[in-house]
Structure 1
């Protein structure tokens, strides 16, 4: 058994991602660092957001044939590497840049702090950066689809 997934997705968010993939083709996420859209996971058509050499691949969600890569900036990863990102969806209007904006819902990220055991496993695993991804590095596992209810995560903040 390898390290835990750095990112997982709730079933409702996976359903929305599948619909967006049907409409737009392969998609990706970049966990926003707080500029225009707060700190939301932003969904783009694959390749429309240029991943930087030092961005970190949190994982590839197990949605669609190719999966959905989820990226975060290197400095933001350093602050949150102890936390599993949980991609979820809630009613409301999100950022205008993200693909779900016209749908009347928005993606949001919740966090679940890794256990000490999980942290140790993660420290032994390589971190894949944008530069490494360009060289062909890929994660060994995909981020699974999980139940809607995730009690050990931080609740979403209202806007």
Structure 2
């Protein structure tokens, strides 16, 4: 039996950017809210800087080669209800994202791509 695909995965470019950000900022986390101001993009923060609660779902603890601790990926519960049938792929694209996300000064931004579960 084939194990299920992970709910969240990283492209090689996203993993490389996380390694660089980890070296500067320490342990990391993602949160994707679905709100305004790039809310549909995953935001990267120092672990624990964004407060999660009952309105959030922990989708993954991502193992990244070269980083000792997992990078957690949280999503607002309301957005998860819409995206629950998808597998999320975190990528990096050129362009400036939100000023709140750690990669903003790098001239790139994280982007979530999705595939239907089972594809």
What is the rounded CA distance, in whole Å, between the counterparts of 2:40 and 2:3 in structure 1?
29
Give the superposed CA RMSD: 1.4
What is the rounded CA distance, in whole Å, between the counterparts of 2:4 and 2:61 in structure 1?
14
CA contact (8 A) 1:60 1:67 kept: yes
CA contact (8 A) 2:9 2:88 kept: yes
CA contact (8 A) 2:33 2:79 kept: no
What is the rounded CA distance, in whole Å, between the counterparts of 1:65 and 1:53 in structure 2?
27
Q: Deviations over 1:5-61 (max 9, x none)?
A: 110000011000001000000000001313122411000000100011231111111
What is the rounded CA distance, in whole Å, between the counterparts of 2:51 and 2:32 in structure 1?
13
Q: Tell me which residue corresponds to 1:68.
A: 71
Q: Tell me which residue corresponds to 1:49.
A: 50
TM-score by length of 1: 0.69
Alignment of 1:79-98 (within 5 A): 79-98=82-101
Greater strand share, structure number: 2
CA contact (8 A) 1:34 1:40 kept: no
TM-score by length of 2: 0.91
What is the rounded CA distance, in whole Å, between the counterparts of 1:76 and 1:38 in structure 2?
10
Q: Does 1:19 align with 2:20?
A: yes
Displacement after TM superposition at 1:2 (Å) = 4.5
Q: Figure out how many residues of one structure are paired with residues of the other and give that number.
A: 116
Displacement after TM superposition at 1:71 (Å) = 0.3
Instruction: Please list every run of 5 or more consecutive structure 1 residues that lacks an aligned counterpart in the other structure.
Output: 116-151, 153-159
CA contact (8 A) 1:94 1:107 kept: yes
Q: Tell me which residue corresponds to 1:121.
A: none
